[in-house]
Copies of this chain bind each other. A is one copy, B any other.
Amino acid sequence: MIGIDWGTTTLRAYRLAADGTILTRRETPRGILSIEPGGFPDALRAVVGDWIAAGVDRVMVCGMAGSRHGWQEAPYLPCPADLAGLAAATVTVPFPDARVRIVPGLSWRDPHGVPDVMRGEETQILGAALGTEAATVCLPGSHSKWASLAGGAVTRFTTHLSGEAFAALSQHTILARMVDAHAPYDAVGFARGVARAKQGGGLLHHLFGLRAAALFDEVGEDEGTSFLSGLLIGHEVAAALEAGVAPPVILIGAERLTSRYAAALDAFGIPHTMAEPDAAARGLHLLAARLD
């Protein structure tokens, strides 16, 4: 089969053996933002047409290709949702020579009725947590996700705007004087930021405190950027823990980010593990196995 993780800016394609082993990986910048309306079939063929011509006729697609602005909308499936539910909710799209299905995203409403959404992460979560009865899965990023798994189903999740907030606050507030988004990681500054997040006073106050500490030369030039990163990730972790987390926390994503979350979780005394790479490919394979 072919697995496609079709995001906003990137398309990742996997050719998978019957047992789920990854035979070939391809990655292109043909995210959905670069595709004209109606252009999805041709874009798919351009990336994996040779695999289809070679006889692979099952294609499973997850990610933003199923959004309102993607190939075809696959409406959000409400939590709790497990592999069987997700597989049953996949949407078939017309495509010659192959059976192409799009995996829906998930939605959840908190006890106050406020909605949350994910699209693509559900497949990574189920792929990463295979065989785990209960777990918490964290996917750091611009919009970080924390999902709870129980009995093989995603039961609830929350999204945090941490990555985007870091970019906006570091470049477009007074903090820009002491923060350089391209500065190298500083473990001491990061730890100080996480430690600050564990104290009272609120994030908005802690943000100004970084400015004031710099005025008194109490945050080094090399520390400011990682301090802000630690402060935001620390607030995110604290909020996730407050909402309830079943350890261990499984971290999914690029090492550059997951290593920071690992350091923050250590500071909170929460055990964690790193997911194997290519969780999306494993999730797509598990979903395909539920289809005829």
Contact = CB atoms under 8 A, between A and B. Distances in A.
Interface of A: 110, 112, 114-117, 143, 158-162, 164-165, 167-169, 171-175, 196, 199-205, 207-209, 211-213, 215-216, 218, 232, 235-236, 238-239, 242-243
Query: What is the interface of chain A mostly: helix, strand, loop, or mixed?
Result: helix
Contacts of A172: 164, 167-168, 171-172
A231 B235 CA distance: 16
A196 B114 contact: yes
Contacts of A159: 205, 208-209, 212
A114 to B, nearest CB: 5
Contacts of A117: 212, 215
B169 A174 contact: no
A238 to B, nearest CB: 7
A238 B200 CA distance: 11
A207 to B, nearest CB: 4
Copies in the complex: 2
Contacts of A209: 114-116, 159
A115 B201 CA distance: 13
A125 B72 CA distance: 58
Nearest to A169: B168
Contacts of A173: 161, 164-165, 167-168
A218 B115 contact: yes
Nearest to A165: B204
A161 B232 contact: no
| In the A-B complex, the 4 residue pairs with the closest CB atoms | A202-B239, A168-B172, A160-B204, A161-B207
Contacts of A239: 200-202, 204-205
A186 to B, nearest CB: 18
A174 B168 contact: no
23 contacts: A112-B199, A114-B196, A114-B199, A114-B213, A115-B209, A115-B216, A115-B218, A116-B209, A143-B208, A159-B209, A160-B202, A160-B207, A160-B208, A161-B169, A161-B175, A161-B208, A165-B173, A168-B173, A201-B239, A201-B242, A202-B203, A203-B204, A204-B239
A235 B114 contact: no
